[in-house]
Structure formats: structure tokens, C-alpha cells
Amino acid sequence: MKNRDKKYFIPVNGTLVEVSEEVYRAYYRPVWVTRYHAQKTGECRCSKRQLWLCDGICSGCPFHTSKTNISFETPVADGDEDITIEDALQDDSPSPESILMDKELLDTLYDELNRLDPEGRRICELIMQGKTEREIAAETGKCQSTVNYRKNKVFAVLRRALKDFI
């Protein structure tokens, strides 16, 4: 379809009226700008399919969301105390004790991995890369059942060594 054959419509009193491209663009340009900025701020959920419904007046639009900004200093109703959202949030940062325990676990794990024979260590490296037993077998030139057997033996050794942590 050629551009000159394209028909343009704008809503007038609830009905669509055919207009020229210039009138169409002049009518919709401010609507598009308003819609663009409302979508950037999260206030508009109108899709391109529903653009013809958009008149640029967001307050009465069914796709308009009332975006409310909340800060950490916003008070939370909790009895007589003045508690803010910041006070109510849990601190998910690790404690010094958990950091030390994780370090001890990793040190033990690395020591055990270094004690493994080269074939067992290679299987562990490939498993850590997310490879399947079939892929490991193809890469190492072994059959899948051998890889499975070796993997189970290595995991048993690691479980015994890390039993205090797990």
C-alpha cells in the first residue's frame, strides 16, 4: 500500500473522522510526547495497539497508573512507635562469623580438590562449568558410565571431607 493511499483518522466526539496526514500528525504529536514521558516514568501502561484510544489526558485514562513515590523515611503504622520503612527492612548483609565460616569451607574444599587425582579434578572442573555427564564423557574420551562412577567417587570423598560444614 502506498503512503498516499493510507487513511488517517482522529477521534471527534467519540467517532473516528478521516483526516489528512498533516492533521493526523499535528493532532497526535503532543499525545505521543505525553504518552512517551508517562511511560518512561511508569505512569502509562498503554501499548502501541491502544494508541488510538490515547488522547494525551492521562488522568481519565484506564491505562494510567498512579505512581506513588515512597522513601525510606516513610512512616509505617506499628502501634505507638514511630517506625520507618528503613527500620522495618531486614539487614541481609552477612555477619563476620558467616564470612569466616564460608572462607573456612572454601579453603577446605580447595584443599580437597587439590588432593584429587588429575582425572577427578578435571571431572569436577567440567561439572562446575555446567557440563552434563554425556558432554564430560565426550570431552575426556571415556564412556558415560565411567564418568558417572568417577563423579560419584569424587563426590563421596568431598562429602567426607566437608561433613563438618554440610
Domains for the chain: give ranges and CATH numbers.
Answer: 3-60 (no CATH), 96-161 (1.10.10.10)
Q: Which amino acid is at 49?
A: R
pLDDT at 67: 60
pLDDT 10s digits, 123-151: 999 999 999 999 999 999 999 999 999 99
pLDDT above 70 covers a percentage of the chain that reads: 77
Q: Is 11 helix (H, G, I), strand (E, B) or coil?
A: strand
Query: What is the C-alpha to C-alpha distance for residues 130 and 5, in angstroms, rounded to an integer?
Result: 56
Task: With both helix axes pointing from N to C terminus, report the angle between 144-161 and 118-128 in degrees, rounded to the nearest 10.
Answer: 90
Check: CB of residue 137 under 8 Å from CB of residue 146: yes
Check: CB of residue 133 under 8 Å from CB of residue 144: yes
Query: What is the C-alpha to C-alpha distance for residues 98 and 104, in angstroms, rounded to an integer?
Result: 10
Residue 11: CA count within 13 A, CB half-sphere:
10
Q: Is 88 helix (H, G, I), strand (E, B) or coil?
A: helix
pLDDT 10s digits, 64-123: 666 655 667 766 665 556 777 777 776 778 888 889 988 998 999 889 889 999 999 999
Query: What is the C-alpha to C-alpha distance for residues 25 and 34, in angstroms, rounded to an integer?
Result: 14
Q: Phi, psi (5° rounding) for residue 18?
A: -75, 135
32's CB contacts (< 8 A; 6+ apart) are 51
Q: Is 13 helix (H, G, I), strand (E, B) or coil?
A: coil
